[in-house]
Structure 1
Amino acid sequence: MAKVHPNMEAYNCDVEVYSDDRKDGRVLTVWRKSLLFSCSGFTVFDNEGNLVFRVDNYGSGRAGEIVLMDAAGKPLLTVRRKKLSLGEKWKIYDGEGADDPVYSVKKRYAKAALAHVAACRRHGSGGGGRYEVEGSYSNRSCTMYDEQLRAVAEVRRKEAVGGVGFGDDVYRLVVRAAADACFAMAVVVVLDQMFGSRVSLIKG
């Protein structure tokens, strides 16, 4: 089996991860699996194999929410599905908050248009504005564009050395310059709930 993560050393990951001198931005490896026994979720590594983000869905957790954490388990953003709304809508909150959303995500039903993302308030240097996600999440080939139609994040298939595919559960998240990797990963979590073929992480 191809190796997904070279090492398991955790480090504290800043929400703002960008360095302007990195032409291609930051490339993360997303694994649709929790490292904890009897949990579902996500595990995200950087290019050095360090753990950056994690989602561990416990059966006893709060219904209707998914918490994105850093390597140490600190809550960064929480994703909640909006109930009793027309269409499929989600809200993204700071930490484990529930009162003041940072972003809203609405599922799109047009061809190649997956979701519309809108800021509910300013949120650091990566906050504000509107974004469109286009492509195919099920094929692990989609891009998030800002208001100037600049690609700020991309989901792409990951291949091991020799061209061996990892399948749908391991893929790359490329976060472009001046974007927020934590925000981009939260959008990926929402896309997985909207378009993923596996069982939803949301309870209740």
Structure 2
Amino acid sequence: MAKVHPNATAAVQDAKTPEISIGRKEDGGAALLTVWRKSLLFGCSGFTVFDSKGNLAFRVDVYGSAVCALVLMDRCGNPVLTLRRKKLSLGETWLIFNGEDAVDPVFSVKRQVSLRHGRALAHVTPCHSGGGGGYEVEGSYARRSCRIYDERRRAVAEVRRKEAAGGVAFGGDVFRLVVESDFDTCLAMAVVMALDQMFG
């Protein structure tokens, strides 16, 4: 059986290292992350994310079945971002907060609601005027084939299927997240978490 990542055991043992390794190339190229839709804790669902060297980068542990909030943690268990489902909104919307904050959201991820079948899955919008332009997610999260585009239509992150050595494909629970150097890796992972709640 193929391993999700060959260095997974070492990553868990090395989780006390303070900084997050996001696996960027030395020339500042894209970060290549392996996302596993499974918590490392027994009896929980969630995500375990490895960098390109097999080190633990992020984790999400979900207790129970009714999800109204998700916390993206670094490899030491420190909260990086929190996602909360927005109440009383037209369409499904998730708000992204810094750390464990629940007062001042920095981004919102809204599921595209349209009678026409367009390419857009969701829109990512900054909640403050100084937050820059928004992003659009297109493709199919269910097939693990989607991209995040910035306002100039540049692909800044991509979800794609992962193949093991020898060309054997993993199931939908293991996939790649490729994040370009000018896009925040934490935000990319938060968008994936929101997409998983909307389309998982």
TM-score (norm 2): 0.88
* Cα deviation, residue 120, structure 1: 1.1
* Cα deviation, residue 138, structure 1: 0.3
Q: Distance in 1 between matches of 2:20 and 2:188?
A: 13
Q: Percent identity of the aligned residues?
A: 64
> Where does the alignment leave 5 or more consecutive residues of structure 1 unmatched?
197-204
1:21 aligns to what?
A: 27
2:141 aligns to what?
A: 137
Alignment of 1:90-105 (within 5 A): 90-105=94-109
CA contact (8 A) 1:153 1:174 kept: yes
Query: Residue by residue, what CA displacement relative to the aligned partner does 1:37-83 show, whole Å, maximum 9, x if unpaired?
Result: 111000000011000000011239x9610000000000000001111
Q: Distance in 1 between matches of 2:18 and 2:3?
A: 23
Q: Distance in 2 between matches of 1:6 and 1:122?
A: 43
Q: Letter of the aligned partner of 2:137 in structure 1? A: V
1:202 aligns to what?
A: none
CA contact (8 A) 2:107 2:125 kept: yes
1:116 aligns to what?
A: 123
Query: Residue by residue, what CA displacement relative to the aligned partner does 1:7-53 show, whole Å, maximum 9, x if unpaired?
Result: 22334445998678233x01000000000011100000001100000
1:185 to 160, 185, 189: 189
**Greater length-normalized contact order (CA 8 Å, ≥ 6 residues apart):** 1
Q: Does 1:128 align with 2:135?
A: no
* RMSD over aligned Cα atoms: 2.2
Q: Does 1:49 align with 2:58?
A: no
SS at match of 2:197: helix
2:110 to 98, 106, 112: 106
Q: Distance in 1 between matches of 2:175 and 2:152?
A: 26
More helix by share: 2
CA contact (8 A) 1:132 1:144 kept: yes
* Cα deviation, residue 3, structure 1: 0.9
2:77 aligns to what?
A: 73
TM-score (norm 1): 0.86
Q: Distance in 1 between matches of 2:26 and 2:122?
A: 27
Structure-2 change in CA distance of 1:48 and 1:83 (3 Å): same
Alignment of 1:5-20 (within 5 A): 5-7=5-7, 8=11, 9-10=14-15, 11-14=17-20
* Cα deviation, residue 5, structure 1: 2.3
SS at match of 1:167: coil
Structure-2 change in CA distance of 1:21 and 1:122 (3 Å): farther
* Cα deviation, residue 121, structure 1: 2.8
CA contact (8 A) 2:71 2:80 kept: yes
SS at match of 1:147: coil
